[in-house]
Structure 1
Amino acid sequence: MFSRHKSALVEPEQLLPGRSERVFPIAAQHKVLDAPVMTDEVPEGFEVAIFGLGCFWGAEEIYWKTPGVWSTSVGYAGGTTPNPSYEEVCSGRTNHTEAVRVVFDPKVVTFADLVKTFFEVHDPTQGFRQGNDVGTQYRSAIYYTSPEQEQVARELTAVYGHELERRRLGEITTEIRPASDTPYYYAEDAHQQYLAKNPFGYRCHANTGVKFPA
């Protein structure tokens, strides 16, 4: 994923300027699900969750396979540079993390279920990396879209964190912030549903091997 091995977020004077609008097209239809890729409007009663868990190619695949998920996309979250490109995010000078945006039906799959999956499929103790992928764009993050999501995210983080500490596997470094803090920027079309287009493509699942406690 072409990491530049940035190990710290950069100061404002080091940030790239970005651009006022997105300059690359994105396919309208999801490659796997019967839904649009860009979901600024979602069906009534559905919710949005945004997760950063390392390389977004494999992360998106995990969630589009989850029953109750209506649509997924990959993009850049938690940063500052407006409308960044993939190369700019990989430079470490936008402060974004690679993220997957999940639109789901809470009557079928709950936000808690999605968070539990989040913790099981990556290693939330690694800081600015996931396995061999090193850089600030690979940090662990949950960007909540409601007060209820925040409560669930913090409670489940505490539960899983206690389990990891009990096993002496380290402390959770997951960033938990409101999604409204910074915009979510859709990544380039080549990255959307990447593993549906490239079935033998790269997957990074550097998880701890610890299931979420019952």
Structure 2
Amino acid sequence: MLPHSHTPRILTPEQALQGRPAPVYSVLDRHTVLGNRLLGPYPEGLEVADFGLGCFWGAERTFWQLPAGVWTTVVGYQGGHTEYPTYEEVCSGLTAHTEVVRVVFDPAVISYERLLKTFWESHDPTQGFRQGNDVGTQYRSAIYTHSPAQATTAESSRTSYRRALATAGHGPITTEILPAANRPFYPAETHHQQYLAKNPGGYCGIGGTGVELGDPLGTNWGASCPTGIAPAPGATGK
């Protein structure tokens, strides 16, 4: 166990918890809202996108509520070092993982650009190791890409949104964009999956800056998408 620190920081592989060779819990087979399988294999033609934008309860709902094209969503842990972590271990800051939502989508119906628009506009990507009242490395903003095309598009969107935020007086973006290939996704426990569908009045700590992702380069980021979900009345923490 590392000494307690008031300043969150990402641990090295040597400092992180060791983890385990297999999960210690099972995961629900079907999406509570969409009805499709949570875990692969997925139908041919679908693509996968991974996003970290704070508390994954609200982040997941943001994506499953998109009008069309999202086949399933799964919350989990990614970007760290500990194999098959538990929620408590991730919250300790000793795994280096962040909370993410995996979005499985049909690119013929909804584009990756449109998902990126939803991602950027649904949280504040300038806050570092926090999102609103949620503080810790597990709440950092992140995009884990599944192809060179996704990586190029994600980088381009970050550049565009950085300009828009700067114009509106916001600070620099802290979002990490890294390949998912070297950063395994570990599905979270069943009770975290579609949490806000099971608990409609539950806490949601994510919220956007109010700044829209423009289209200065003609990249076609997509039509307007939901720009975040306000916290439940009286909610102060997860």
What TM-score, normalized by structure 1, do the two folds share?
Answer: 0.95
Q: CA deviation at 1:182?
A: 1.4
Q: Secondary structure at the match of 2:11?
A: coil
Partners of 1:110 and 1:32 lie apart in 2 by 21
Could you list the structure 1 runs, at least 4 aligned residues long, displaced by more than 2 angstroms after superposition. 11-14
Partners of 2:73 and 2:119 lie apart in 1 by 14
Q: CA deviation at 1:206?
A: 3.0
Residue range with higher mean Cα deviation, 99-108 or 4-13 = 4-13
Amino acid at match of 2:63: Y
Q: CA deviation at 1:207?
A: 1.7
Q: CA deviation at 1:199?
A: 0.6
Q: Which residue of 1 aligns with 2:21?
A: 20
Q: Secondary structure at the match of 2:211?
A: coil
Amino acid at match of 2:44: E
1:151 to 2:152 alignment: yes
Partners of 1:106 and 1:210 lie apart in 2 by 25
Contact 1:79/1:95 (8 A) holds in 2: yes
Q: CA deviation at 1:34?
A: 2.4
Pairwise CA RMSD: 1.2
Q: CA deviation at 1:63?
A: 0.6
Q: Which residue of 2 aligns with 1:94?
A: 95
Q: Secondary structure at the match of 1:13?
A: coil
- Show structure 1 runs of 5+ residues with no match: none
Amino acid at match of 1:46: L
Q: Which structure has more helix as a fraction of its residues?
A: 1
Larger relative contact order, structure 1 or 2 (CA cutoff 8 Å, min sep 6): 1
Amino acid at match of 2:42: V
Q: CA deviation at 1:26?
A: 1.1
Q: CA deviation at 1:25?
A: 1.1
Amino acid at match of 2:123: H
Partners of 1:117 and 1:28 lie apart in 2 by 26
1:54 to 2:28 alignment: no
Amino acid at match of 1:18: G
- Show structure 2 runs of 5+ residues with no match: 216-238
1:117 to 2:125 alignment: no
Q: Which residue of 2 aligns with 1:127?
A: 128
Q: Which residue of 1 aligns with 2:11?
A: 10
Q: CA deviation at 1:13?
A: 3.1
What TM-score, normalized by structure 2, do the two folds share?
Answer: 0.86
Q: Secondary structure at the match of 2:14?
A: helix
Contact 2:74/2:101 (8 A) holds in 1: yes
Partners of 2:180 and 2:191 lie apart in 1 by 24
Q: CA deviation at 1:11?
A: 2.8
| Residue correspondence of structure 1 range 73-84 to structure 2 within 5 A | 73-84=74-85
Q: Which residue of 2 aligns with 1:177?
A: 178
Q: Which whole-Å deviations, capped at 9, do the CAs of 1:88-141 have from their partners, x for residues lacking one?
A: 000001000000000000011000000010000000000100001000000000
Q: Which residue of 1 aligns with 2:221?
A: none
1:161 to 2:173 alignment: no
Q: Which residue of 2 aligns with 1:63?
A: 63
Contact 1:5/1:135 (8 A) holds in 2: no
Q: CA deviation at 1:5?
A: 6.1
Q: Secondary structure at the match of 1:158?
A: helix
Contact 1:15/1:94 (8 A) holds in 2: yes
Partners of 1:60 and 1:51 lie apart in 2 by 9
Amino acid at match of 1:56: F
Contact 2:164/2:212 (8 A) holds in 1: no
Q: Across the two proteins, how many residue pairs are aligned to each other?
A: 210
Q: Which residue of 1 aligns with 2:30?
A: 29
Contact 1:56/1:74 (8 A) holds in 2: yes
